[in-house]
Structure 1
Amino acid sequence: MSVINHHIPDAMIASYAAGTLPHAFAVVVATHISMCDKCRAALEAHQSVGGALLETGDAVPVSASLKDSLLAQLDEPFTPEPVFERSGVYPGPVMEAMKGRDPKWKKMGMGVRQDILSEDKNGSVRLLWIPPGQAVPDHSHNGLELTLVLQGSFSDQTGRFGVGDLEVADHELEHTPTADPGLPCICLAATDARLRFNAYVPRLLQPIFRI
């Protein structure tokens, strides 16, 4: 397994552990954690702290109706959610986001393809397939963008990102990610706002590709 050099910020791991991270970002974080021992250990530490706080916190009284509702739910038959295992370069959390299917690639031009896994008012998460040597058009950000490498690698103004590496980009970063020579670069990317492309043609096509 390749060495992972770019990790999840600790504050984001804490938010993920607390269940407050938006779905699109949570998919990327869960995928990185499935690939990274260091961030998995950090998550376990946050979960341990959360458990300790629950044990030592003051009890909060609830109404009789709420208590009855909770007990009734416990009596209902439990249907476990399907557990997805890694398939090829796609870790379990990605397979879960795809509901066990194969990627449904759609062409974006210049050999780049994408598969939008989910999209709502809080953000989107998608797979990107970028041929070796191909650059994503120069852009900045209206919000936050997480990009996790699943295969190959890419480089930009901040460095090189290989398998398992996570790039966190915000409004301060303007970059031109370019897939390195070798295998096509497959990334899992999540955003909470549209990108800001500098060139006219990418801006023109942006509503079509929803990125």
Structure 2
Amino acid sequence: MSSPSSRFSELYSAYAAGCLDPAFALMLETQAMVRGDIRDAVAVSEMIAGAFLETTEPAAMADRALERVMSAIDAIDAPADLSRRAGKAAGQAIEELLALPEPLRAAALDSAGQRGWQTMGLGIKRLPIDAGSAMDVELYRIAPGAKLPRHTHDGAEYTLVVSGGFRDEHGSYGPGDIAVSDQTINHQPVADEDGVCIALAVRDGGLRFSGVIGFVQSLIAAR
């Protein structure tokens, strides 16, 4: 996605209304920090949602709602311990994580501190992220020129390029672009040669690999 389009307008509206799935909210907030045009589109949606909110009858707050909100804010404003734990687990990758835009930075640091990066292949690492969603959310680090194994998908996948870039048989994607894939797409993403590609993937199904990796995957699934 090189510019805001109608297919994503519902995401902006749902985000502005506060009813967007947390995984997509993380993706959209990160994208807005990378690209000004997305930030403007979200701002317009928030203005529209605010106008509708002013005409809505107020609802009573739940017990201790304010206390819970303030506790959540305190947790966000105290990243020191989080950064220390993440630094030990992330090793040399800590600087790359610290360079990520918020709110992805906090989520990635938390995940790195708890789980650490997983190696997928030569030059490819992934970091599962807990976004409080039923969707699968993963941060990918792809070395310059590295290729992901060829694969298709069990469901829909949205891949946001945070930094660097990659290409596949269907196009080239740079910072702030979102590549959309589904069961009809069989591709092999390749990172650009001029730098590390950092990408955030959100999907509602697994990956199906081709070739030898796909054969091994089928054997494991059959057990």
- Return the TM-score normalized by structure 2: 0.73
The structure carrying a bigger helix percent of its residues is 2
Q: How many residues align?
A: 197
More divergent stretch after superposition (18-27 vs 178-187): 18-27
Does structure 1 conserve the Cα–Cα contact (< 8 Å) formed by 2:32 and 2:39? Answer: yes
Which of 107, 117, 125 is the matching residue for 1:97?
107
Note closer, same or farther for the CA distance 1:54–1:119 as it changes in structure 2 (3 Å cut): closer
Instruction: Give, in angstroms, the shift of residue 5 of structure 1.
Output: 2.8
Does structure 2 conserve the Cα–Cα contact (< 8 Å) formed by 1:6 and 1:167? Answer: no
Note closer, same or farther for the CA distance 1:7–1:206 as it changes in structure 2 (3 Å cut): farther
Instruction: Give, in angstroms, the shift of residue 102 of structure 1.
Output: 5.5
Task: Tell me which amino acid in the other structure corresponds to 2:210.
Answer: N
Partner in structure 1 of residue 70 of structure 2: 78
Whole-angstrom distance in 2 between the partners of 1:76 and 1:20:
19
Query: 4+ residue runs of structure 1 moved beyond 6 angstroms?
Result: none
Instruction: Give, in angstroms, the shift of residue 89 of structure 1.
Output: 3.4
TM-align CA RMSD: 3.2
Does structure 2 conserve the Cα–Cα contact (< 8 Å) formed by 1:24 and 1:190? Answer: yes
Which of 173, 176, 191 is the matching residue for 1:164?
176
Note closer, same or farther for the CA distance 1:106–1:87 as it changes in structure 2 (3 Å cut): closer
Whole-angstrom distance in 1 between the partners of 2:189 and 2:102:
26
Task: Tell me which amino acid in the other structure corresponds to 1:127.
Answer: L
Task: Tell me which amino acid in the other structure corresponds to 1:78.
Answer: M
Instruction: Give, in angstroms, the shift of residue 21 of structure 1.
Output: 2.5
Does structure 1 conserve the Cα–Cα contact (< 8 Å) formed by 2:147 and 2:189? Answer: yes
Partner in structure 1 of residue 154 of structure 2: 142
Are 1:5 and 2:2 matched, yes or no? yes
User: Which consecutive residues of structure 1, in runs of 5 or more, have no partner in the other structure?
Assistant: none
- Indicate the structure whose relative CO is greater, using CA pairs within 8 Å and at least 6 residues apart: 1
Please show how residues 199-210 of structure 1 align to structure 2 within 5 Å: 199-202=211-214, 204-205=216-217
User: What percentage of aligned pairs have identical amino acids?
Assistant: 30
Task: Tell me which amino acid in the other structure corresponds to 1:10.
Answer: S
Note closer, same or farther for the CA distance 1:51–1:120 as it changes in structure 2 (3 Å cut): closer
Instruction: Give, in angstroms, the shift of residue 128 of structure 1.
Output: 0.9
Partner in structure 1 of residue 45 of structure 2: 46
- Return the TM-score normalized by structure 1: 0.77
User: Which consecutive residues of structure 2, in runs of 5 or more, have no partner in the other structure?
Assistant: 80-95
Whole-angstrom distance in 2 between the partners of 1:207 and 1:33:
41
Whole-angstrom distance in 1 between the partners of 2:3 and 2:218:
28
